[in-house]
Amino acid sequence: MKTVSLTIDGKRVKAHEGEKVLWAALDNGIYVPNLCTLRDNSEPSAACRLCFVEVEGKKQPVPACTETIEQGMVVNTKGPGALRLARTALELLLASHPVDCAHCPSSGSCELQKIAAHLGVKLKTRRFRKLLRELLVDSSSPVFIYDPNKCVLCGRCVWVCRERLGIGVLGFAHRGFERVVTTFGDGPIAESKCRDCGECVVACPTGALTFKDKQGTVKSAHKERVETETTQ
């Protein structure tokens, strides 16, 4: 496969032709915040809007997960326009998130925390109204707990369960602010065709899906996987 060379944050890097800027950056040790994309998903969902970068010659910041690299491209992941959009997006997510880190099993491995640190954003945002939804927690599964209040709707679990595993327990429902990840017919997970494999938990970047057995081996696998996926 042909390689293409480009500059990201002043660093000359190489990547495969056709690659998206996001992966080119991550593969070369340059972190760009991202939540909604997985490498093996060929169509970026481009939903979280955290991965904005600036590209020389383009008037507006673009999402790194949808922008295809080009020979000689000059990318700036720290441009003021890109950071402004990423920070607003993150703060919007945090304003509708409980931010109850002290009691959350995912604290420490949570990507929201990581992105907030990267962008220099406080977890308790002041710019927005706190808009929570008070949804019911589903602990029916023998393996994991689903707390939709902590979900950022990145869609990773939906994609993994449906496309990677071909099971399709989880999906999106409702529109606008009411949008949620849920089972078909909104029933408890234990009553769905869930096979308890826990891959969705591994994929979840926040504390929305957590293993019941917190000390178990699976949990540490979770952390490892998250780290390799996002910082590679």
Footprint of other proteins (CB under 8 A)? 43-50, 52, 60-61, 66, 81, 84-85, 88-89, 92-93, 95-96, 127-129, 131, 152-153, 172, 174-179
Residue 135's SS3 state is coil
The DSSP letter of residue 161 is I
Of 38 and 201, CB closest to ligand FES: 38
Cα–Cα distance measured from residue 44 to residue 22, given in angstroms and rounded to the nearest whole number: 11
Of 141 and 206, CB closest to other proteins: 206
**What does 127 interact with, of ligand FES, other proteins, none (CB < 5 to 8 A by kind)?**
other proteins
**What does 189 interact with, of ligand FES, other proteins, none (CB < 5 to 8 A by kind)?**
none
Of 49 and 114, CB closest to ligand FES: 49
Residue 114's SS3 state is helix
Of 76 and 192, CB closest to ligand FES: 76
**What does 136 interact with, of other proteins, ligand FES, none (CB < 5 to 8 A by kind)?**
none
Cα–Cα distance measured from residue 29 to residue 182, given in angstroms and rounded to the nearest whole number: 35
- Asked if residues 204 and 153 have their Cβ atoms less than 8 Å apart, the reply is no
Cα–Cα distance measured from residue 27 to residue 15, given in angstroms and rounded to the nearest whole number: 8
